[in-house]
Structure formats: C-alpha cells, structure tokens
Amino acid sequence: MVQVKRCGWCGDDPLYVDYHDNEWGVPIRDSRELFEKLILDGAQAGLSWITILRKREGYRRAFDQFDPEKMARYTDKKLERLRLDPGIVRNRLKINSARQNARAYLKLMQGEQSFSEFLWQFVDGQPLNNQWLSMAEIPTTTLAAEQMSKALKKAGFNFVGPTIVYAFMQAVGMVNDHMVDCHCHKKCAKLAKCK
C-alpha cells in the first residue's frame, strides 16, 4: 500500500488531515468565505489551529454564519452573551473584534473593490507557488503579509498582525506552502493557474 505524503503539521487527527487535504492552500476568491477565514485566523491568535477547527461549526452558529451585516449590528449585550458560548473561544477582545471586523468589511465593500480583490492585490491576483523542502524553511510572515496587515489595520480591522495574516494567506491559497513532496502541492499549484 502506497503511503500518502502530507505536510507534517497536520499529524494524523482525521479532522486536521481532512482540512489539510481538502481546504488548506486551495485558492478562495469569494469575499464572504475570505471574511470568515480572516475572523477564524484572528481567533486562533495564541492557540493552535486545531482548536479553532474543532470549534468552527460553533463559530458559524454563534456568528450567524459569518453574515457581516448581522455581525456589524451586534450590541454590547450580544457580545457579552457570546462570551458564555462554549462553542467558541470566549476571549472578550477576539469576540469584540469580530463585530469591528464586520463593520470594517462592510465599509471596505462600499468602495470600488470587493474584499477579495482588496486582499488578492497583495499577491498580484495570483497565488505564490513556493517550493519548500522542509517545514523549517516556511516563514512566519513575508513582506506581502506585512503590507496586507498594514492595509487591513488602516481599513479598521484588528487581530490582523503579519503572522496571523500570513497564516490566513496560506489557508486561503494566496501562497502554496505545502511541502513539495506533499500530495497536495501539485493540486494547489494546478488550482493556482486556474483563475
């Protein structure tokens, strides 16, 4: 039996393996999906991604399927109620940032660019196809991530530091950071060519 080669970070947890094989590094261009991913990556700050992945459905339920119009109208009372929800990370700053980020998202969407166009401009609209041979080679941030982070902060978003933003870029396929010997590297590289 041929063993499938994967990036080492996903281990053998079935949820993590499925996420690695079917989501991580696959280019996303839908503004609403990107908004959800950005909120979830911000929630991850200081935690492991598997923690957020296990709570993702809880987040979707708690945050109205990441509907920015509804989230932007959350009252302080609603935010306090969310702090009691065991289905999400109950950090006050992270919960409050979801409302702030929804408001920033809606304001940005009133401009000439969609949220997707705004984000993808930092990689010139095309995923960067990296050729890493070991996990040690992968950076925690890049110039593009720093520029995106700065632009997001200027637009009113928070929990969008360069390290969070680079993890987001990896997750949504703006960069292909699968190891070259991972079975997903070629698939994501091929998807990158299909705009």
Tens digit of each residue's pLDDT (9 = 90 or more) over 135-161: 899 999 999 999 999 999 999 999 999
For CA atoms 25, 29, 165, 119, the dihedral sign is positive
Domains recognised in the chain with CATH numbers? 8-193 (1.10.340.30)
The average confidence (pLDDT) of the chain is 94
What is the reported pTM?
0.94
List the one residue out of 171, 23, 40, 33 whose CA is nearest residue 98.
40
Percent of the chain past pLDDT 90, that is, above it, reads: 86
Read off the amino acid at residue 30: D
Report for 11-15, 98-102, 130-134: range of highest mean pLDDT: 98-102
pLDDT given for residue 191 in this prediction? 83
Asked whether the predicted pLDDT for residue 1 surpasses 70, the reply is: no
What pLDDT sits at residue 195?
56
Considering only CA atoms, which of 120, 42, 107 is closest in space to residue 69?
A: 107
Where is average pLDDT lowest: 19-28, 45-54, 183-192?
183-192
d(CA 50, CA 71): 24
E strand or H helix at 17: helix 14-22
- Is 160 in contact with 149 (CB distance < 8 Å)? yes
pLDDT at 44 over 90: yes
pLDDT-derived band of residue 2, with 50, 70 and 90 as boundaries?
low
